[in-house]
Amino acid sequence: MTGTQRRRAVVTGANSGIGYFTAAELARAGDSVVLACRNEQKAAAAAEEIRAEIPNADVESAKLDLASLDSVREFADSQSGSLDLLINNAGVMMPPRRLETADGFELQFGTNHLGHFALTALLMPRLLEAAEPRVVTVSSLAHRQRRQLDFDDPQEDRSYDPHRAYARSKLANLMFALELDRRARAAGSPLVSNAAHPGFSATGLYGSDDGLGSNPVLRKLAPLGARVVSQSAKAGALPTLYAANNGGPGSYTGPRALMETRGKPGAAKISRVAQNQKLAAELWDMSEELTGVTFTFN
């Protein structure tokens, strides 16, 4: 951010957890923030909570279901004027049963990656109206668990494992952020794309109906375990905020302490497969084909 210039920002999944604290701190700094969330009531309540805490906070809520490409298009169409900052934060984590998006995609890959891929492409005209546009995509330490992407089975029809699928979606998030930066720079665009991860942070994903919380036993135990061994969601938002304010093009930010699980933000480790530009280009082409969107940088 240049000086004290006010920005207009969109934060996905901002009704709780890391997204909420990211949106709140952006509003505290004077940015105008759209809380783009699947649940409109929770989004509106979160916006009210931010206004109650931060006098004169400029926040609004909007409907965005990343598991539906129709919803993504409707949200993008509803936005007007320049957009300085897009934070691709929302996600689902490790549903123990097989779930699909409205478009038939595996839920985690469809929501965490494809939904954000389409959203970024459709908001690109708004971003390119800004003087210093920036996109931050939230990945995870879990991205290191995947050594390859299987383009022959994008929906994991042959075998589905929730942990493997989550790691794949987070690897795709990071590869997308890095490839978006490469393509923007090649096109001579002012767009900055980078990524961040929250380390091990206690968020609502552990109790979500679309994640571990869909199992009644894990719904009770996972949040308790997360509180014991993890940092707060507010602390987990710090890498995203750093990336939004100070992160360089193509950078990856995460907590610095205890193998990147907690602490102050700094440079994070990018796995070898995430740096594979040929694989990233294949992922990009497949994502365009599956979502029906294309990117323009002018």
Which contacts of 208-213 are long-range, i.e. CB under 8 A and separated by 24 or more positions?
208/92, 208/93, 210/92, 210/95, 210/99, 210/107, 211/92, 211/93, 211/94, 211/95, 212/93, 212/94, 212/95, 212/96
Q: Give the list of residues 6+ apart from residue 224 with CB closer than 8 angstroms, or none.
A: none
Angle between helices 69-78 and 116-127 (to 10 degrees): 20
166 is catalytic: yes
The gap from C-alpha 250 to its chain's centroid, in whole angstroms, comes to 15
Q: Which of 20, 166, 206, 252 is catalytic?
A: 166
**Phi-psi domain of 191 (left: phi exceeds 0; alpha: psi -120 through 50; beta: other):** beta
The gap from C-alpha 37 to its chain's centroid, in whole angstroms, comes to 12
* Torsions phi, psi for 124 (to 5 deg): -60, -40
List, by residue number, the catalytic residues. Answer: 166
